[in-house]
Chains A and B, each alone.
Chain A
Amino acid sequence: DIVMTQSPDSLAVSLGERATINCKSSQSVLYRSNNKNYLAWYQQKPGQPPKLLIYWASTRESGVPDRFSGSGSGTDFTLTISSLQAEDVAVYYCQQYQTTPLTFGGGTTVEIK
């Protein structure tokens, strides 16, 4: 199984400041035949299901604000919230979908400082 490791476990950021979350996979999730990274990011607020933010490591899902961006390739990935808003308080998960079983990172809690 591919193990997904997120860091930090939690972070507190001032409103309007940048938040950066890291995700590392135990093996590459880059599929060379199509040059795509099978890596997604989700946001989960209390009492709600996860919401897809980013897929293919850097493609924003329709309707997701452009302050959310994803980067990285191979085994190292980053989710950046460029200017934190109050509504961004949530837990964020990375997930690989290159192979079954799908696996998720342990989550990063983002709070307002």
Chain B
Amino acid sequence: EVQLVESGGGLVQPGGSLRLSCAASGFTFSSYLMHWVRQVPGNGLLWVSRINSDGSSTAYADSVKGRFTISRDNAENTLYLQMNSLRVEDTAVYYCAKVGATLDVWGKGTAVIVSS
């Protein structure tokens, strides 16, 4: 079964850091582009970042550029999102997603709360 499991979310103060992880199983992780998407509960979906299959190419939403870093460890089948200089407006559920034609498999998400 294809599965993505996020972890690493939690409560952090403004200006703090968190590293999210996304453990992949059931497919050849190293062959697929991966994305992070976030959602404020009750609100819509906002794309955050993507990384290509070997990690050589990344892209970010303007709102997180310079603060967030996406990476992957294909040997460990794990996707990461390093989040620095966190702001209150980064509060959301963060999903990782695998790309087929588009985002065809999503994890259940991990909640990030930025608050003092």
Contacts and interface: CB of A to CB of B under 8 A. Distances in A.
Contact of A104 (B45, B62, B109): B45
B72 interface: no
A107 B45 CA distance: 9
Interface in B18-67: 35, 37, 44-47, 50, 59, 61-62
A110 to B, nearest CB: 15
Interface string A96-113: 010011111111000000
Contacts of B44: 93, 104-107
A49 B102 contact: no
B109 to A, nearest CB: 6
A61 B105 CA distance: 11
A13 interface: no
A22 interface: no
A95 B102 contact: yes
Contact of A52 (B35, B47, B103, B109): B103
Determine chain A's interface SS by DSSP, over half rule: loop
A61 B103 contact: no
A50 interface: yes
A49 B106 contact: yes
Interface in A61-113: 61, 93, 95, 97, 100-107
Nearest to A51: B106
Contacts of A49: 95, 106-109
A93 B101 contact: no
User: 3 closest A-B pairs (Cβ-Cβ)?
Assistant: A49-B106, A102-B47, A97-B102
Interface of A: 38, 40, 42, 48-52, 55-56, 59, 61, 93, 95, 97, 100-107
29 contacts: A38-B102, A40-B103, A49-B95, A49-B107, A49-B108, A52-B102, A52-B103, A55-B100, A56-B101, A61-B104, A93-B44, A93-B45, A95-B102, A95-B103, A97-B101, A97-B103, A100-B47, A101-B47, A101-B59, A101-B61, A102-B37, A102-B50, A102-B102, A102-B103, A103-B47, A104-B44, A104-B46, A105-B44, A106-B44
